[in-house]
Amino acid sequence: MQAGDKVPDITLPDQHGNPFSFTELIGKTSVVVFFYPKNFTPGCTREACDFRDHYSRFKELGAEVIGISSDSEKSHSKFISKFDLPYTFLSDGKAKARKAFGVKSNLFGLLPGRETFIFDENGRLLHKFNNMNEGKHVQEALEVLRKK
């Protein structure tokens, strides 16, 4: 995906098993979508909690946050409950979203990639950020939203 591209028209199950479509948010809110490797791992937990700790700032900037991994809906539900995560998580067990967004694997293909995408309220890509350092994603996304 490149700046200006439209958010992919795909549907994935959320943490409750309900279908979620990105296109439902078009015209309503900006969206920060972060892909991460796995629930309950140290780096992924830090990243998810960092988004949690800054969630009110994202809301103030008119953005919704969505986390995506290959974990099951049940795993997402436990992850949310354990760490009090206030935003939506989507299950991408068949890598449908990873393919649609063009998220590449890291560490010689051994780990699913860690990449963040920021879309405006019209569903157009403003910025994407690929870095295995989980600590940089929240600040980068907030910076992009502040400038828009």
CATH of the domain at 71: 3.40.30.10
pLDDT-based confidence at residue 29 (cuts at 50, 70, 90): very high
In the residue annotation, 44 being an active-site residue is answered as: yes
Could you tell me which of 22, 20, 47 has the C-alpha nearest to residue 35?
A: 47
In a domain, 3, yes or no: no
Q: Which of 26, 44, 80, 144 is catalytic?
A: 44
Query: Which residue would you say has higher pLDDT here, 137 or 53?
Result: 53
Domain boundaries, position 78: 11-147
The total number of structural domains in the chain stands at: 1
pLDDT at residue 38 tops 80: yes
pLDDT at residue 132 tops 70: no
Segment 17-34 shows an average pLDDT of 93
Segment 32-46 shows an average pLDDT of 93
pTM: 0.92
In a domain, 1, yes or no: no
**Distance between CA atoms of residues 97 and 82, nearest Å:** 25
In a domain, 108, yes or no: yes
In a domain, 6, yes or no: no
